Structure 1
Amino acid sequence: MDRLVYTAMTGARHVLDQQATVSNNLANATTTGFRAQLDAFRAVPVMSEGLPTRTFVVDTTAGADMRAGPIQTTGRALDVALRGDGWIAVQSADGSEAYTRNGSLKVSENGLLQTSAGQTLQGEGGPIAVPPDTTVAIASDGTVSTISTEFKPGPSNVLGRIKLVNPDPKSLVRGDDGLFRLNSGTPADNDPSVRLVDGALEGSNVNAVDSMVNMISLARQFEMQMSLLKNAENNAAKATQILALS
């Protein structure tokens, strides 16, 4: 009985973990540039003196779904989407370099170019500062230029170039803040082949229908594990009755 309880318990616990992952994906179905998290079950044999007939269930993070999301035209000058593979380099809260597909940009109170989540964009020469009373334009290669609104026609001034990278997807790991980093901890090199689409944003690559079906399937698996635990409880009760009669 105890063996059945332990094996069913591991299955139920990791089903709940995967339910949390699917729920997080569904919650970010409309988040700009979000990459769906992928999980998988794997069986770990129980090492004992008996026959190898029992296994524990372990939930492993397989990584992230790196397929591109749909590109939606917004017409906003500070909205950019990545065409194909690639990442935008930003500065995370701890000061390290991280990468995102969120191209919804803004100019902070200090004049720094940032994402809508507040991460400062990394330029090839450092953060990009935008002077006041200017209109920002972003080219397909990431070059940021401004035109003064005080003069008509105003002169164009190149401020810098956004750092665009394209590392191997297998070398990227997702952090708790939703940003990706190299598992080596070192900054990625610039990739001049990465291109941007101005006036557009990339949507989440989460398929809401598939996620809902997956959530229903996980709920059925959890019910099965609960049935096993209930059967173990009934078996223990019957065994207790038999021992009491004897």
Structure 2
Amino acid sequence: MGNGNYVSLSLATALERSMDLAAHNMANASTAGYKSTQALFESIEPEGGDPDMATSYVQDNGTYTDMSQGALIATGNPLDIALTGEGWLSYQTEGGATAYGRDGRLTVNADGQLATLSGAPVLNRAGNPITLPQALGQQIIFTQDGTITDLEGGVLGQIGIFRLPDVNQLVPMGNGLYLSGEDLGEVIPETDTRLSQGFIEQSNVRPILEMTRLMDIQRAYERASKLMTDENDLTKQAIQRLGNVV
């Protein structure tokens, strides 16, 4: 297989990964607090090659999380919260692990715990679920630092807001939640992020741009495939002509 085929193959592989990520972003465009994921690629040249005949290939260097702020939408629901800043909420998964996310659409479950709509309890700064008196219902107040009080100012708890050293180490698990990777680093309380009650943060995915990117990726993939087909056809023709000469 010629260099042209290798170049086209590396490009097609990179484009396929980009298409998967763009489709995943589109699927989560309406997921509250979702942060889009983008691919990282690099152009590389093989070692030991002729500098006058340099050939560049596409190398997959992983992904990164776009941490730009999603728009805040007012809901009027006292159990809806949104974060402004780089902080993350923490949740308890069914298996007892700690997950992170920014989905602030909350409810009170049957055990009186503050939880997401998918059932994951929200954790306080100490990493424990937050239990509220059943009689309060939705009559609670969230302050900007996550403190929860009743209507008379009595403190009921505090939602944990955390700073993650490397958000690119998070592993998505669905429902807007992420598990920490091995190299996440030390998670510490975040003090600069502000919490707003009665709002939810929308996904930072821009559907029109993602759809345009999907179409561009598809066209580029088709071009890369055609280049491989054309080079194979030229190779076949060359072999046939050489055979006729002999």
TM-score (norm: length of structure 1): 0.85
Tell me if the contact between 2:171 and 2:181 (Cα under 8 Å) persists in the aligned partners.
no
Tell me if the contact between 1:100 and 1:180 (Cα under 8 Å) persists in the aligned partners.
no
Deviations 1:56-115 (A, max 9, x none): 212333411111111000011110011233221222455343321111112222222112
The one-letter code sitting in structure 2 at the alignment partner of 1:235 is: L
CA distance in 2, matches of 1:117, 1:26: 20
TM-score (norm: length of structure 2): 0.85
Give how far 1:190 is off.
Answer: 1.8
The one-letter code sitting in structure 1 at the alignment partner of 2:98 is: E
Give how far 1:134 is off.
Answer: 2.2
Q: What is aligned with 2:212? A: 213
Say how many residue pairs are matched: 238
Q: What is aligned with 1:150? A: none
Q: What is aligned with 2:190? A: 191
Give how far 1:143 is off.
Answer: 1.8
Judged with a 3 Å threshold, the aligned counterparts in structure 2 of structure 1 residues 180 and 67 are, in CA distance, closer, same or farther, namely farther
The one-letter code sitting in structure 2 at the alignment partner of 1:162 is: I
3-state DSSP of counterpart to 1:33 = coil
Give how far 1:30 is off.
Answer: 1.1
Q: What is aligned with 1:202? A: 201
Deviations 1:112-158 (A, max 9, x none): 211223322111342111232322413222122357xxxxxxx7653
Tell me if the contact between 1:97 and 1:187 (Cα under 8 Å) persists in the aligned partners.
no
CA distance in 2, matches of 1:187, 1:135: 35
Matches within 5 A, 1:20-169: 20-48=20-48, 50-51=50-51, 53-125=54-126, 126-136=128-138, 137-140=140-143, 141-146=145-150, 157-168=154-165
Unaligned runs of 5+ in 2: none
Q: Does 1:2 align with 2:2?
A: yes
Identity of aligned residues (%): 26
Deviations 1:11-63 (A, max 9, x none): 11110110010111111111100111121321222234555622321233341
Query: Which stretch has the larger CA shift, 136-145 or 216-225?
Result: 136-145
Q: What is aligned with 1:176? A: 172
Q: Over the residues paired in the alignment, what is the CA RMSD in angstroms? A: 2.4
Tell me if the contact between 1:32 and 1:201 (Cα under 8 Å) persists in the aligned partners.
yes
CA distance in 1, matches of 2:40, 2:84: 29
Tell me if the contact between 1:111 and 1:131 (Cα under 8 Å) persists in the aligned partners.
yes
CA distance in 2, matches of 1:239, 1:158: 81
CA distance in 1, matches of 2:181, 2:4: 41
